[in-house]
Structure 1
Amino acid sequence: MPGDTRSAFIGRTAIAAALEAYGLAPYVWPVTHAASELVAVTARMTPGRELYVSLRHRDDAVRLLVWDQHPQHAETDMAALCEARCRRALWLLAAVVDDWGGEWGTCEASQTQQGRKSWVVMPR
């Protein structure tokens, strides 16, 4: 997806359609809300760069992954500040996921990739 805040609506709409098509309607509200929050925040933190969005249903849970191309920070102070800023921006996501009994987090991508991965797991 394009790294643009307008992509949040596109992601939300596509994910809702996929969940409905596969008979996972109970997940529509929390997962689409989580997707739009993750896409909007990552697009603001890394504007103009592409985002990858993945949605899977496995082990009776829906797993959402948003991978962005946010550059790694060489200085540990700057990396910690960036992580804190990202977590503050995702406060609404945290509230929704917690309310639905799910988990979420962020981590640096592997060394062969660049960027950051943000994920959400919503149990049935």
Structure 2
Amino acid sequence: MSLGVVPACPVNTDRSAPTPDRLAYSLTLPAALTTPALARAATRAFLYAHDLDEMLDPALQGVSELVATACQFTYDADVYVSLRYRDDALRVTTYDHHPTHINRHLVAACDSRRRAALRLLACVARACGGDWGYGPSREAGGGTRMWLVLPRHSGAAYGRKRSA
């Protein structure tokens, strides 16, 4: 066994400003009444830092709707929020701990309540030419995953449409 030279610890030398394509944040937040406001504040800071502030209006509306719904449907103490920018689109994903029901009547009732809670999110996604939805979590432990995809070009136009 050779006791050669031990390499130095790697050092990140990239000190460039955050760019849109480097936006990647994950937050675990309490399932509380104040959580949508916390998620909006964090999203606002992230979008400004990554020069995506033209997407503020639809992104903040979407984050608010997703997080509020996740908090409403979870039985656990926290919810998970992910913001990513990929392929010229902002992707917001939330996970809550709402279990998957076996009884078809409970499934239908929960789907109806969740769709009603996300009605405004659907309008934002449609206005921006984006996508949204929900389904079983692919993570261990189950729960529900909800998402919103906002294309940058149409997301930026969303605020201009509303103010016109």
Alignment equivalent of 2:129, drawn from 97, 101, 120 = 101
Q: How far apart, CA to CA, are the structure 2 residues paired with 1:44 and 1:97? A: 21
Provide closer, same or farther for how the CA distance between residues 54 and 111 of structure 1 changes in structure 2, counting only shifts above 3 A. closer
Deviations 1:59-102 (A, max 9, x none): 00000000111112121221121011100111111111211111
1:27-46 equivalences under 5 Å are 27-46=55-74
Task: Give the structure-2-normalised TM-score.
Answer: 0.71
Task: Give the structure-1-normalised TM-score.
Answer: 0.93
Q: CA deviation at 1:107?
A: 0.6
Equivalent position of 2:161 in the other structure: none
Larger gyration radius, structure 1 or structure 2: 2
Segments of 4+ in structure 1 off by > 6 A? none
Structure 1 segments unaligned to the other structure (5+ residues): none
Larger mean Cα displacement after TM superposition, 38-47 or 16-25: 38-47
Q: How far apart, CA to CA, are the structure 2 residues paired with 1:110 and 1:101? A: 25
Equivalent position of 1:25 in the other structure: 53
Structure 2 segments unaligned to the other structure (5+ residues): 1-28, 153-164
1:1-124 equivalences under 5 Å are 1-46=29-74, 48-110=76-138, 112-124=140-152
**What amino acid is the match of 2:40?**
R
**What amino acid is the match of 2:115?**
R
Q: How far apart, CA to CA, are the structure 1 residues paired with 2:68 and 2:34? A: 8
**What amino acid is the match of 2:86?**
R
Q: How far apart, CA to CA, are the structure 2 residues paired with 1:109 and 1:41? A: 15
Provide closer, same or farther for how the CA distance between residues 79 and 7 of structure 1 changes in structure 2, counting only shifts above 3 A. same
Q: How far apart, CA to CA, are the structure 2 residues paired with 1:42 and 1:52? A: 9
Q: State how many pairs are aligned.
A: 124
- Of structures 1 and 2, the one with the larger relative CO (CA 8 A, separation 6+) is 1
